[in-house]
């Protein structure tokens, strides 16, 4: 049935959005899929190159705050499902420059909701028609719940919202607006709050690709504070598979936590990836030719690149989500282990230098550490 749905994906040139587009079109090669993306620094049209020539795929460069544009896309393409990924997503950037986060994450989501209401609910009502089933799926984060202490139970969907960064606060606000549009107007919405994702096509300012690309350039790997912060890591394909499960079901008006049941202290995670990179370089001598700058990895000592930097302001100590509701409602469980997910990720970055190399000058995350 997914192949019969016309889908509008916002933020499809970003990390998770691009993975969703690949996943969806590979499973439903005939399905109509439209991407709306402003191509900010984090958007990369080349991530979608594989689909550009297909007649059922269309890329539209535009802003989610442009309500008339969104309305025209919903109408023109007879969109059934809107999957909303577009956002300013990097916490570190939200600390010095929160304005862009308020604009994209709050005003952008609000604008999309208004467009969906106008086309899906108001127009049929004005014409005396009953609205057909549409869906607005909102992609959000576990960071809306704030921070946990080491021994606390993981966040459930009933946990209180307590966002600590401007990024998390902007996502929390957007979550509330999405909920309100169902409660007030009857828009059919669903939301997923997921933990830290990793995998192919992730912009190299984020922790895991930052570690990988810094090792490949023999640059310091910045580690905030004592490195004891705990994060749950989710392979991106498990996340997009969960979104597909949500869309296939008829559960609306609910939030689902999507996690990897895979908590790591940042320091352990960095060491783990260093170790994996060392192993790859020892096992595959051709990597040393391909990446001549990766001196530490060649010498089996990538850990030496780890450099402690002062902690992020308002840095949450621990995130973890309870995924029982997703398991009960639609059978979601993460299928990738960290070992297999990291292996796939490392192999992708090693094989796709053309994708990430041009993005490096844009990264904010501690390239030069004195
Ligand atoms: P990303 O930064 O890689 O991509 C965001 C995309 O949105 C980019 O292509 C960008 O060009 C586009 N965009 C930004 N502002 C826009 C606007 N105003 N109009 C149109 N397009 C715009 O982000 P990501 O990591 O893929 O995250 C996707 C979604 O998932 C976000 O909503 C984020 O909050 C959420 N999320 C991400 C993670 C994670 O680990 N990456 C975890 C939990 C939730």
Give bridge partners of residue 192 from the DSSP assignment.
Answer: 139, 256
Q: Which of 205, 143, 203, 207 is nearest to 171 (CA)?
A: 143
ipTM: 0.99
15 within ligand 1 shell (Cβ under 6 A): yes
Alpha-carbon distance of 132 to 130, in angstroms, equals 6
Answer yes or no: is pLDDT of 72 > 70: yes
For the CA of 197, the nearest atom of ligand 1: 40
Cα gap 172→178, rounded to integer Å = 10
244 classed as catalytic = no
From 8, 12, 14, 105, mutation site for ligand 1 pocket: most ligand atoms within 8 A of C-beta: 14
| Signed CA dihedral, 85, 87, 91, 93: sign only | positive
Instruction: Please list the alpha-helical segments (H only) found in 190-308.
Output: 207-216, 236-248, 266-283, 286-290, 295-298
pLDDT of residue 274 exceeding 50: yes
The 10 Å Cβ neighbour count of residue 293 is 12
- pTM, two decimals, is 0.95
Encoded tokens for 164: 């600590």
- Beta pairing class for 81-84 and 7-10: parallel
Q: For ligand 1, is residue 94 a contact (CB within 6 Å)?
A: no
Model confidence over 123-146: pLDDT tens digits? 998 988 877 889 999 999 999 999
167 catalytic per annotation: yes
204 lines ligand 1 (CB under 6 A): no
Closest listed residue to residue 338, CA positions, set 275, 269, 284: 269
40 CB near ligand 1 (under 6 Å)? yes
The finding on whether 141 has its CB within 6 A of some atom of ligand 1 is yes
Domains and CATH numbers, the chain: 2-202+236-263+319-336 (3.40.50.720)
CB 201 near ligand 1, within 6 Å:
no
What CA dihedral angle connects 145, 147, 151 and 154, to 10 degrees?
A: 20
- Rounded distance from Cα 15 to ligand 1 centre (Å): 7
Least confident of 153-157, 166-170, 193-197, 222-226: 222-226
Mutating to test ligand 1, I would choose from 8, 41, 42 the residue with most ligand atoms within 8 A of its C-beta, which is 42
The answer, yes or no, to whether residue 271 has pLDDT greater than 80, is yes
Cα 351 to middle of ligand 1, angstroms: 24
Which of 70, 85, 269 has the most ligand 1 atoms within 8 A of CB, as the residue to mutate? Answer: 85
- Name the average pLDDT for the chain: 93
The percentage of the chain sitting over the pLDDT mark of 70, rounded to a whole number, equals 97
Which pLDDT value is given to residue 269? Answer: 97
Cβ(196) – ligand 1 distance below 6 Å: yes
Q: Is the CB of 203 under 6 A from ligand 1?
A: yes
- Which has more pLDDT, 8 or 311? 8
Which atom of ligand 1 sits closest to the CA of residue 16? 26
Give the highest mean pLDDT range of 87-91, 248-252, 341-345.
341-345
Calculate the CA 203 to chain-centre distance: 10
- The rounded Å distance from CA 86 to ligand 1 centre is 4
Taking the CB of residue 187, how many other CB atoms lie within 10 A of it? 21
Task: Give yes or no: 301 in active site.
Answer: no
Mention every residue, 6+ apart, whose C-beta is less than 8 A from residue 118: 67, 71
């Amino acid at each position: 049935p997914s192949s019969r749905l016309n889908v509008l994906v916002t933020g499809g040139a970003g990390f998770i959005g691009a993975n969703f587009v690949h996943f969806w079109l590979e499973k439903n090669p005939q399905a109509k899929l439209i991407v709306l993306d402003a191509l900010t620094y984090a958007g990369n049209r080349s991530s979608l190159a594989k689909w550009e020539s297909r007649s059922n795929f269309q890329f539209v460069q535009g802003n989610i705050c442009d309500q008339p544009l969104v309305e025209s896309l919903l109408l023109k393409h007879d969109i059934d499902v809107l999957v909303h990924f577009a956002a300013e997503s990097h916490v570190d950037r939200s600390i010095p420059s929160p304005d862009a986060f308020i604009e994209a994450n709050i005003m952008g989501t609000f604008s999309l909701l208004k467009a969906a209401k106008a086309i899906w609910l108001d127009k049929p009502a004005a014409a005396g028609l009953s609205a057909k089933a549409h869906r607005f799926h909102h992609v959000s984060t576990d960071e809306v719940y704030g921070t946990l202490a080491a021994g606390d139970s993981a966040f459930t969907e009933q946990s209180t919202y307590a966002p600590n960064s401007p990024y998390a606060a902007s996502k929390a606000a957007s979550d509330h607006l999405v909920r309100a549009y169902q409660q007030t107007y009857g828009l059919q919405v669903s939301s997923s709050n997921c933990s830290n994702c990793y995998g192919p096509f992730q912009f190299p300012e984020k922790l895991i690709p930052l570690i990988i690309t810094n090792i490949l350039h023999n640059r310091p790997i910045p580690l905030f504070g004592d490195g004891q912060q705990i994060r749950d890591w989710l392979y991106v394909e498990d996340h997009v598979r969960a979104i597909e499960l949500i869309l296939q079901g008829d559960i609306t008006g609910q939030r689902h936590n999507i996690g990897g049941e895979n908590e790591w202290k940042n320091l352990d995670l960095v060491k783990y990836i260093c170790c994996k990179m060392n192993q790859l370089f020892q096992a595959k001598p051709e990597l040393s030719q391909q990446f001549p700058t990766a001196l530490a990895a060649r010498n089996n000592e990538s850990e030496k690149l780890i450099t402690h930097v002062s902690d992020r302001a308002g840095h949450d100590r621990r995130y973890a989500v309870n995924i029982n509701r997703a398991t009960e409602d639609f059978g979601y469980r993460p299928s990738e282990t960290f070992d297999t997910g990291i292996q796939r990720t490392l192999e992708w970055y090693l094989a796709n230098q053309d994708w990430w190399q041009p993005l490096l000058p844009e990264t904010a995350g501690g390239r030069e550490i004195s």
